Amino acid sequence: MGVALAALSMVLAVLAGQAIASAVLWFGGAGYLCGALGTIICASWYRATRNRARQDPWYQPLPAGDVLIKVALVVGLAGGLWCAFLVATELAK
């Protein structure tokens, strides 16, 4: 979701005149929250539940889940940083 908001804010930034500059700020801020902060919260929750489940004797590790969460973490952080960049450049205008 953070990456989708980052892409939307990038499109709005390209098409933006002064009329929809505030929309770039809103989408950029929402993308930052979803991408940079939401991704870290979800990854932390996943790792905490995984570590709690390891105590179960019937636990079977899911390497694909670990890879997926690492990829989502990188993509989400990149999208969040891009949105933060868009917000910073829009505020600097």
| Contact yes or no for 90/13 (Cβ under 8 A) | yes
Position 9 scores a pLDDT of 61
Residue 58's CB is within 10 A of a number of other CB atoms, namely 5
What percentage of the chain exceeds 90 in pLDDT?
A: 0
Angle at CA of residue 34, ends 29 and 15, nearest 5°: 45
Domain ranges for the chain, please list them: 2-92
pLDDT digits (tens, 9 = 90+) for 14-38: 555 545 556 666 777 777 777 777 7
pLDDT digits (tens, 9 = 90+) for 54-84: 888 888 888 888 898 888 888 888 877 787 7
